[in-house]
Chains A and B, each alone.
Chain A
């Protein structure tokens, strides 16, 4: 075992992936502009200040930038040691949120934890906890992942997370969580045979989950024909479609949305993409989605070039969760899948979400930075004395593996 002490931070300001930085900061600032446009009327009406949501988001952005910078320096390799604490943290927040008094109930679901005057969404944190745990476990027990039982801990923990999020209830984050888990297991080297075997009960779970909560069935019906009940279940989707339809090719112009005048519920959070579509049109949406695609591609590229499996898995996890949430969100607002509340990463109003995604993006930067450094080390054999080369790490772990 290599007992070399790992540093907490990776020094130096170099090797910044400017593409990721530009995408993240661009998206976050664009988000604030859109939140202002979408929420100023409702905020004025309901909270007495047109800047209510904007101010909260600016606080989130400032904190997010700090976390972003921190993660750029923070040595991600240490996350492997934090995998069990991360798992514990994820479980704790998900259990805490279910306890009345701790969890704040809004719109019929218990999704927020309030501490003092601050509240955060438990599942937003849990998602990233799971990424840390899964990446850590799968990179540490790389060989074990080849066995069915060896991959079970990831699957089980993912399953428990899903179930806990389901209890809030929050169907959409559960789906995100599930897709994230599957992707990570696939990338983590789970054998295709096992992967297929495990997918069967998960697919079977979907109709069961729909049947135990009647409101999901209604939403499903509303999705199939929103016009059947335009004042009821179909209302939100119809309003979203109105907004998008009103946008057309080039939109009605920034700040000129009509749907934001209390027609479209959650226009500043889960349905902010509809307002983007209305004000900036199909072209605006394409540019926004282009930025997301760029960010996701950068993420996967960083994963491919990561210096070790941990970095690779972490980058895959972060990129995947961004991709899944963007796709699911846009699919919901365009009526491609049944309505479900899910924030659009970096854009939707919501501090927790913004901070966590910026943290994830920071980790991407750090992975990139280290892979650059490692490449240089291999090439120059220079003075990066603390660096552990991928091969050595794997070898040292292999020896500690019990033979099965």
Chain B
């Protein structure tokens, strides 16, 4: 084999070659270093900062919710969360012992958290009061950290529940106003940032940066706590007396759209939220006045009347004949009073709530005209209230409406509205101008800046003359004699309604929604209310008996609360009329007897002889009390 000499020249060439390779690799490595340090540097630095510091939140308190007069409905106060950092705890047993005693938490569970070093920080207790925290601080325990947080309190407890809504334990609005104005109510959290090692141990030379939290805005509602209490008190009473499944009510200022009171019953105490019982929580926290729809029944006749008067198909003196039914397209549709109301004027028909009259009005207008007005009144549209989950109601498509449907819609069936929509549309008519209903009055930030919310006009509804006629008719409904007897001394207007409930698309036997709309002052209403009693089961269900008396109570108490002087000076009316024994009398005899002593009556059943009477003989009642008479 040939020996090739490996000369010193060869060696030096190879050495240079190696040196060149080394130089190139150095260039590559320096290039990479440059890229990491100088180009990626800022990005890496910002990522690194988060791991170099431990920050404890300093909560910015959630803002308060107050009523129209500044009365606090919800507010937050500072409480404390207690954290353990196992890596800083020197004597876990002492820590566990002391904390178990102060906080009343199980010793073993504290010990376990105090010794578990797998996480840097653990939450031990939430919403601890300042008093207990002072005791903890006084013990000067290593590794126990306190962070500010807050607790939400509702001074009125079970009041305005479904409107206010509630927050999560972490103070995030979940429903109602708490959710709708959450962005404003939320405080801005501050923090205490401390430089620390990977395990959360503070660096000896570290500085702690404090940024204090900012309290959330104060949200002022149009709600008046006094009126709200009156409304809820009466609704509770109605529910109990009528053995109803539920009751709702809204009181609105027709002249500007402000909601003064809004209630859904049953409800719960906001300071004791049933968080574990999701079903109860969801059902009871739902603001049904905004979310749920119902078939309005006779109260809807206000719209039919307003539309008919505006379109000129009738006038207040127009006359009708009611045999107790109408036959439309071959279908017999009954009036609620099967024996009929006979000859009557429009006003009488309105007062009698005679279905036949309104069927006539509906058919006279026709779908197109009637729908135009309903559209103008706001039926089938969301009102635009500042509340989540509002329903628009259900209005049959105009092209699908047959005559029978039109006739039914005219007296408040085959149509569904929310209580709020119902009330707001009534307000629009009795006021002539419809406003957007609202709960918000103003929002004030922590630095004192206030934003006021004014009324929002949606549009005009009816002419002044129609408006006045409707108001006149509404007053006539509640006091046929015009003597201010319904709410003694006050000119109040009103209309009742009774609607069957539907379940799975069919009429549910024996289930009704009895409602009452009230207006005051009757000639130019400012306060307009709607109350609905859901499924009364105490034997009677007509709105005039189940809902109207409670409407009267609410008005009476409201006038006292608002110090509104009576329109008419009247002697204090007492329950001084003694109900006579009516059993065995014929309907005509009983009716004549009751009318002679200024009592009203309803006959239930188809027979001619009174079998029982709802109010026992000898009971003292107010004038115009409605006595139910049961026949065959």
Contacts and interface: CB of A to CB of B under 8 A. Distances in A.
Contacts of A282: 33-34, 37-38
A245 B6 contact: no
B18 A241 contact: no
Interface string B339-367: 00000000000000000000000000000
A277 B203 contact: no
A186 B33 contact: no
Contacts of B43: 245
B26 A247 contact: no
B565 interface: no
Contacts, number: 118
A350 interface: no
Interface string B27-63: 0111011111110111111011001100000000000
B25 interface: yes
Nearest to A187: B14
Contacts of A191: 4
Interface string A270-282: 0000000100011
Q: Chain A's interface: helix, strand, loop or mixed, by majority? A: helix
A304 B36 contact: no
A244 B36 contact: yes
A295 B192 CA distance: 49
Contact of A246 (B17, B44, B198): B44
Interface string B4-32: 10100011101101110010011011101
Contact of A304 (B15, B40, B198): B15
Given A191-B4, A258-B52, A331-B29, A263 B197 contact: yes
B20 to A, nearest CB: 11
Interface residues of A, number: 49
B278 interface: no
Interface in A36-58: 41
A154 interface: no
A293 B19 CA distance: 10
A261 B44 contact: no
B11 A189 contact: yes
Contacts of A262: 197-199
B3 interface: yes
B11 A334 contact: no
A266 interface: no
A334 B33 contact: yes
Contact of A242 (B4, B28, B34, B48): B48
A320 B18 contact: yes
A320 to B, nearest CB: 7
A331 B44 CA distance: 18
A78 B10 CA distance: 26
Interface string A117-159: 0000000000000000000000000110111000000000000
B3 A143 contact: yes
B33 A189 contact: no
A205 interface: no
B400 interface: no
B16 to A, nearest CB: 9
B41 A289 contact: no
Nearest to B7: A189
A178 interface: no
Contacts of A242: 44-45, 47-48, 51
A181 interface: no
B18 A187 contact: yes
Contact of B48 (A189, A245, A286): A245
B1 interface: yes
A245 B197 contact: no
Contacts of A335: 32, 36
Given A187-B11, A296-B22, A334 B52 contact: no
Contacts of B199: 262
A241 B32 contact: no
Given A187-B14, A300-B15, A316-B15, A289 B22 contact: no
Contacts of A249: 37-38
Given A147-B1, A312-B11, A334 B22 contact: no
B37 A277 contact: yes
B6 A146 contact: yes
Contact of A330 (B10, B14, B29, B44): B29
A262 B51 CA distance: 11
Contact of A336 (B4, B28, B198, B203): B28
Nearest to B46: A245
A289 B30 contact: yes
A244 B33 contact: yes
Contacts of A316: 15, 18
Given A145-B6, A323-B22, A334-B29, A245 B1 contact: no
Given A187-B15, A259-B48, 13 more contacts: A146-B3, A187-B14, A242-B48, A246-B45, A247-B37, A248-B37, A261-B196, A261-B203, A286-B30, A289-B29, A327-B29, A336-B28, A336-B29
19 contacts: A146-B6, A186-B17, A187-B14, A241-B40, A245-B42, A246-B45, A249-B37, A258-B48, A258-B52, A261-B52, A261-B198, A262-B197, A277-B33, A277-B37, A293-B26, A300-B15, A316-B15, A334-B35, A404-B1
Interface of B: 1, 3-4, 6, 10-12, 14-15, 17-19, 22, 25-26, 28-30, 32-38, 40-45, 47-48, 51-52, 195-199, 203
